[in-house]
Amino acid sequence: METSFALTGKGYVIVAADTTAARSIVKMKDDQDKIKELGSHLLMAYSGEPGDTIQFAEYVERNIRLYQIRNLYPLRPSAAASWIRRSLAESLRSRNAYTVNLLIGGYDLADHKPTLYWIDYLGTVVEVPFAAHGYGSYFALSLLDRWAIALTRGRPRRHTDILLRYHNPEATLEEGLATLKRCINEVSKRLIVSPDRYKVKVVDKDGVREVEL
Amino acid sequence: MVGKDCVAIASDLRLGTQALGISSNFQRVPVSHFSRVCPSLTICQVFPITDRLYVGLPGLGTDVTTLYERFRYRVNMYTIKEEREIHPETFTHMVSSTLYEHRFGPYFIEPVVAGLSKLPTGGLKPFIAAMDLIGCINFAKDFVVAGTASSKLYGVAEGLWEPDLEPEDLFETISQTLLNAVDRDAFSGWGAVVHVITKDRVISRTLKARMD
Amino acid sequence: MYTTDSIIYRSDYDILSRRSPIPEYVPSHLLYPTTQSTTILFIVEYAMEAISHAGTVLGVLAKDGVVLVAEKRVTGKLLDLSSAKEGGGGYGGSGEKMFLINSNVIGGVAGITSDANSLVNYARSVAQRYLLQYNQDIPVEQLAQRLCDMKQGYTQYGGLRPFGVSILYAGYDPHYRFQLYHSDPSGNYSGWKATCIGANNGTAQSLLKQEYKDDMGIDEAIKLVLKVMSRTMDSTTLGSEKLEIAVLTYDEAAKKPKAKIYKPIEIDGLLLMHEMSKKTEEAMKS
């Protein structure tokens, strides 16, 4: 089943999504790219109702591009996330709502920060250090909480410290990719309908690029 | 909650999809964050409207953001045209009418307003109010609650609150009320934020809470 | 069919400039918007001509801020200024010609006041709508563009008159930092280091051209602006009853732009500081 992950590290955001296109129980394709490059420094992983996803992703892509053509500079990641959220929130109360869940990863050239937004089909948006959508999220989110504790190399002193200590925003890209691999392995191990291939993209100060795991 | 020449407003910080927690710090607004949780995707956030006025928006996550943005729009236009800050009473009616505009397809939010209102004499009077999701206002003299833990909040608040609390005592009362109610509710918690609004300043504190 | 329009039209400009901007020898059919597209262009020209008789507004861009100064024309001892005395209290526009448009933009207007009020309201809505959509302040150039789209629309079709207003926009955004733009009734806009609209703008511009320096700080810019103003205004002495001043800077602590429209008492203080007020001049004479 569809799964996407994203996590931030020192100066970058990694976004990963499975590559399966399925109808019912049949796998139609296993090299589908579900991560759109919305700009030189902006990535969007999308999942949800098959027709809606592509339609909505292209609508977003074209509008973000239009903004850049009109104004010469691109939308900042936070502004793009707000605009996309609003589109979904307006769609939610329309006759035919888009059922699309998104992860927006970007590098803001104005304040030199990597940012990640978790957005669901209702138009809920929240900025997070790591995020996931789909069945994989049930495994990945708890793993990321725990994995990050291991990175602190110390026993959390109190129960309440756990979530405050999870994220290592200073991890290098190699460490970040290793963490991502653990998520993918965990999902493969525990989820009955786990996807077997993922596409992984990274955005940092140099822009977006695809990486091989 | 109302105190002696002060009011307090508090909220938890969880954002979740049903039982799955997504974020323990939904903060996109400077100064304060948000909070209150919920059944199918909810959060509540407490937002500063002016220096002396806060609104908490517990309910569906998407509507928290949408409503906050709409109120910001209307309050900004009000402030810039009137050249003065909006009063808590006026703001409450603005919130109420915005909600009632969607009477037959409502925003799933039950707002809580807390602030100090100016008296004609120049003094300040504590003001709190809560609304249901279609904007029916409840002006209260003691405390108001809303969100997934509201039934538990009523019980604890009923037991702990007393009239004319000083700011520090009010802080303790509202914090204990929220933390204990939220611990009995599966959908709320994951940290909390408290603002005590007094004549001279706003005391904002983030509380640690159980993370389960 | 356009008779009524033409009366309103001409009288508006008469009030503005205190003399008719429309020469008597212009054939009357050229004055009114008709389906002939060329005639409407005259009207835009007249609107711009009319503005060059309106109260002066000038703006100067400094490396750490932008300053706007305006000359107030509506004065008199019977005029009730009690609300203007208070200034904007930091929440809005204070006077006749300076308006806070958004937290990052101040506008200074020259021309027909009623048209300007309507445009300012439109600008504020545009800025708030942008904030609603993108959760960030509108970039200054986009705001100027949106107003120009509106202004241009009124030069395109018959039956309407253009907005008789020029605007200076002093603003800040993270893309180009401090900026100063000018827009005119035709819907053209342009960015400036220093510029002037309204009466005597030619004199002011040549003065600015001489005295402007690229590395000026905001204090120097204020000083320059007051100096130019004192030379271009009809009256010989400067005072808060004739002047409005607004400054846009960046608050490093709060990490956001800070717009300040000076209150009358602060303007007098500023003039005193720069030794340009009535009192000091009188003192010097004696």
Please give the angle made by the CA atoms of A180, A181 and A183, to the nearest 5 degrees: 65
Q: How much is the pLDDT for B84?
A: 83
Q: What are phi and psi of B207, to 5 degrees?
A: -105, 145
Closest residue in C to B29 (Cα) is C135
Checking if the pLDDT of C10 tops 50, the result is no
What's the rounded Cα separation, in Å, for the pair B43 and A154?
A: 32
This model of the complex carries an ipTM of: 0.88
Question: CA C77 → CA C73, C82, C264, distances in Å?
Answer: 13, 12, 16
Across chain C, what does the average pLDDT equal? Answer: 82
> Residues near A135 by Cβ (< 8 Å), separated by ≥ 6?
A1, A2, A3, A187, A191, A193
Q: How much is the pLDDT for C21?
A: 43
What's the rounded Cα separation, in Å, for the pair B211 and B171?
A: 22
Do residues C255 and C284 touch, judged by C-beta distance below 8 A?
Answer: no
| Predicted confidence band of residue B145 (pLDDT cuts 50, 70, 90) | very high
- Report the candidate in A142, A117, A116 with the shortest Cα–Cα distance to residue B21: A142
Checking if the pLDDT of C59 tops 90, the result is yes
% residues pLDDT > 70 (chain C)? 76
> Residues near C149 by Cβ (< 8 Å), separated by ≥ 6?
C187
| Chain B contact residues (CB < 8 Å to C) | 28, 69-70, 72-73, 76-77, 79-85
Do residues A22 and A28 touch, judged by C-beta distance below 8 A?
Answer: yes
Question: How far off is chain A from B158, nearest CA to CA, in Å?
Answer: 28
Do residues C226 and C276 touch, judged by C-beta distance below 8 A?
Answer: yes
- Across the beta sheet with C243-251, what order do the strands follow? C194-197, C57-62, C65-71, C243-251, C256-261
Question: At residue B111, what is the residue type?
Answer: P
Do residues B177 and B160 touch, judged by C-beta distance below 8 A?
Answer: yes
- Whether C89 and chain B come into contact, CB under 8 Å, resolves to yes
What's the rounded Cα separation, in Å, for the pair A56 and A71?
A: 23
What is the value of pTM for the model shown? 0.87
Cross-chain residue pair A128–B23, CB shorter than 8 Å: yes
| Chain A contact residues (CB < 8 Å to B) | 85-86, 88-89, 92-93, 118, 120, 122-128, 131, 137-138, 141, 159-160, 162-163
pLDDT, one tens digit per residue, over B80-123 is: 888 888 999 999 999 999 999 999 999 999 999 999 999 999 89
DSSP symbol at A159: G
Checking if the pLDDT of C234 tops 80, the result is no
Q: How much is the pLDDT for B35?
A: 27
Q: Give helix C140-156 / helix C37-51 axis angle, nearest 10°.
A: 130
What's the rounded Cα separation, in Å, for the pair B14 and A167?
A: 17
Question: How far off is chain A from B149, nearest CA to CA, in Å?
Answer: 20
Q: How much is the pLDDT for C172?
A: 97
- Best of B13, B14, B23 to disrupt the A interface by mutation (most A CBs within 10 Å)? B23
What's the rounded Cα separation, in Å, for the pair C211 and C217?
A: 14
Q: How much is the pLDDT for C37?
A: 59
Cross-chain residue pair A79–C132, CB shorter than 8 Å: no
Q: How much is the pLDDT for B124?
A: 93
- Report the candidate in C2, C96, C5, C10 with the shortest Cα–Cα distance to residue C47: C10
- List the single residue in B60, B61, B211 with the smallest CB-CB distance to A163: B211
Cross-chain residue pair A126–B23, CB shorter than 8 Å: yes
Which of the residue ranges A68-77, C21-30, C266-275 has the most confident prediction, judged by mean pLDDT?
A68-77
Burial of B145 by CB count in 10 Å (0-12 exposed, 13-18 middle, 19+ buried)? buried
Q: How much is the pLDDT for C76?
A: 74
pLDDT, one tens digit per residue, over A58-102 is: 999 999 999 999 999 999 999 999 999 999 999 999 999 999 999
What's the rounded Cα separation, in Å, for the pair B59 and B40?
A: 9
pLDDT, one tens digit per residue, over C71-105 is: 988 767 787 766 655 544 454 445 679 999 999 99
Structure tokens at A60: 């977003």
Question: Which of B162-171, C41-50, C121-130, C132-141 is the least confident region?
Answer: C41-50
Mind giving me the DSSP string for C196-257?
EESTTHHHHHHHHHHH--TT--HHHHHHHHHHHHHHHSSSSSB-TTTEEEEEEEEETTTTEE
How many other C-beta atoms can be found within 10 angstroms of the C-beta atom of residue B176? 14
Across the A:B interface, residue pairs with CB atoms under 8 Å apart total 59
**Higher pLDDT among residues B17 and B3, named by residue:** B3
- Report the candidate in A2, A97, A3 with the shortest Cα–Cα distance to residue A52: A97
Checking if the pLDDT of A148 tops 70, the result is no
For range A145-165, the mean pLDDT: 49
Collapsed DSSP state (helix, strand, coil) of residue A23: strand
Q: How much is the pLDDT for B7?
A: 96
pLDDT, one tens digit per residue, over B156-183 is: 999 999 999 999 999 999 999 999 999 9
**Higher pLDDT among residues C41 and C49, named by residue:** C49
Look at the block and give the residue holding tokens 């509108």: C138
Structure tokens at C84: 């203007």
Checking if the pLDDT of A149 tops 60, the result is no
Subunits that touch chain B (at least 3 Cβ pairs < 8 angstroms)? A, C
Question: Which of A92-96, C33-37, C164-168 is the least confident region?
Answer: C33-37
% residues pLDDT > 90 (chain A)? 77
Structure tokens at C93: 């526009």
The full 3-state SS of C71-100, as one line of letters, equals ECCCCCCCCCCHHHHCCCCCCCCCCCCEEE
What's the rounded Cα separation, in Å, for the pair A129 and A163?
A: 11
What's the rounded Cα separation, in Å, for the pair B93 and C8?
A: 41
Question: CA B152 → CA A120, B179, B181, distances in Å?
Answer: 29, 10, 5
Across chain B, what does the average pLDDT equal? Answer: 86
Cross-chain residue pair C128–B79, CB shorter than 8 Å: no
- Across the beta sheet with B124-131, what order do the strands follow? B46-50, B53-56, B112-118, B124-131, B137-140
**Higher pLDDT among residues B52 and B141, named by residue:** B141
- Report the candidate in C32, C3, C276, C13 with the shortest Cα–Cα distance to residue C164: C13
Q: How much is the pLDDT for A147?
A: 56
| Predicted confidence band of residue B155 (pLDDT cuts 50, 70, 90) | very high
Do residues C117 and C87 touch, judged by C-beta distance below 8 A?
Answer: no
**CA A141 to centroid of chain Cα atoms:** 12
What's the rounded Cα separation, in Å, for the pair B11 and A15?
A: 32
Is the C-alpha dihedral spanning B65, B71, B77, B83 positive or negative?
Answer: negative
- Report the candidate in C133, C146, C155, C157 with the shortest Cα–Cα distance to residue C107: C146
What's the rounded Cα separation, in Å, for the pair C108 and B182?
A: 52
For range C230-237, the mean pLDDT: 80
- List the single residue in B28, B70, B83 with the smallest CB-CB distance to C92: B83
What residues pair up with A196 in beta bridges, in sequence order? none
Do residues A123 and A94 touch, judged by C-beta distance below 8 A?
Answer: no
Cross-chain residue pair A79–C135, CB shorter than 8 Å: yes
pLDDT, one tens digit per residue, over B178-205 is: 999 999 998 888 889 999 999 988 998 9
pLDDT, one tens digit per residue, over B11-68 is: 988 887 766 777 776 542 222 222 222 222 333 456 777 778 999 999 898 999 999 9
Question: At residue C243, what is the residue type?
Answer: L
% residues pLDDT > 90 (chain C)? 53
